[in-house]
């Protein structure tokens, strides 16, 4: 789905290979448009990345070799998704602004839309409805998100970003 973006400084979009499901999920939470399916064959992944101008993220050396030389591929070296997030952010030297966080569905990559509180009553547990002010809806998989989920994830993300910042400044120093 095309999005309005600053043309001079577009936010990179990714296509992640089948070994990078957890990384894909976290990149979506951070606001990156990240295509992922564990059912794609290599050639499907490559043609999608090419057709949509996505940066390929891969842990597969064979796949990496097929596109190495291109600036549109990042080889992911680490096993842990925390380190993988660091690798991507360090490689790009870029992190989306916090207002982009939680604007995508972490499950299916769709952009989230505001969901009217009145309609949420029938769709979420009573205690959630009573305690939450705002809700968001994923038109792709029809999941509903609310502040509690977001706050918990925000804390995890902020902890990670601090880690990333420390790591980057150490590397630069
Ligand atoms: Zn979704």
Q: How confident is the model at residue 5 (pLDDT cuts 50, 70, 90)?
A: very low
Report residue 40: phi and psi, to 5°.
-75, 140
Q: Is the pLDDT of residue 162 over 80?
A: no
CA of 134 to the centre of ligand 1 (A): 17
> Is the residue at 139 inside a domain?
no
CA of 111 to the centre of ligand 1 (A): 8
CA of 56 to the centre of ligand 1 (A): 21
Looking at residue 158, its pLDDT comes to: 67
Q: Tell me whether residue 104 is exposed, middle or buried, using C-beta atoms within 10 angstroms of its C-beta: 0 to 12, 13 to 18, 19 or more.
A: buried
CA of 141 to the centre of ligand 1 (A): 4
CA of 110 to the centre of ligand 1 (A): 6
> Is the residue at 30 inside a domain?
yes
CA of 26 to the centre of ligand 1 (A): 14
CA of 40 to the centre of ligand 1 (A): 19
Average pLDDT over residues 24-46: 94
Tell me the per-residue pLDDT of 91-117, one tens digit each, with 9 for 90 and over: 988 877 778 888 999 999 999 999 999
> Is the residue at 37 inside a domain?
yes
Record the tokens describing residue 159, joined without a space: 């902890």
> Is the residue at 119 inside a domain?
no
Looking at residue 163, its pLDDT comes to: 62
> Is the residue at 65 inside a domain?
yes
- Whole-prediction pTM: 0.83
What angle do helix axes 21-29 and 147-172 make, rounded to 10 degrees? 100
Average pLDDT over residues 74-103: 87
CA of 168 to the centre of ligand 1 (A): 32
Q: What is the Cα 11 distance to its own chain's centre?
A: 11
> Is the residue at 127 inside a domain?
no
Instruction: Pick the closest to residue 54 from 23, 26, 13 (CA basis).
Output: 13
Query: Does 98 or 64 have the greater pLDDT score?
Result: 64
State the residue range of the domain holding 74: 14-98
CA of 144 to the centre of ligand 1 (A): 9
Average pLDDT over residues 56-66: 94
Q: Which of 73-87, 88-102, 111-125 shows the lowest per-residue confidence on average (mean pLDDT)?
A: 88-102
The total of structural domains in the chain comes to 1
Looking at residue 27, its pLDDT comes to: 93
């Amino acid at each position: 789905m095309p999005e309005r973006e600053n043309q001079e400084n577009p936010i990179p979009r990714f296509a992640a290979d089948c070994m990078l499901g957890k990384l894909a999920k976290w990149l979506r939470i951070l606001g990156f448009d990240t295509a992922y399916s564990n059912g794609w064959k290599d050639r499907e992944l490559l043609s999608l990345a090419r057709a949509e101008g996505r940066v390929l993220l891969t842990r597969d050396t064979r796949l990496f070799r097929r596109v190495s030389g291109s600036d549109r591929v990042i080889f992911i070296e680490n096993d842990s998704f925390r380190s993988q997030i660091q690798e991507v952010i360090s490689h790009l030297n870029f992190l989306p602004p916090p207002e982009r966080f939680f604007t995508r569905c972490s499950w299916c990559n769709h952009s989230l839309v505001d969901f009217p509180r009145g309609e949420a009553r029938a769709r979420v547990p009573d205690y959630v409805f009573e305690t939450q002010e705002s809700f968001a809806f994923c038109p792709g998989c029809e999941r509903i998100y609310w502040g509690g989920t977001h706050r918990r994830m925000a804390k995890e993300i902020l902890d990670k970003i601090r880690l990333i910042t420390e790591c980057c400044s150490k590397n630069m120093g």
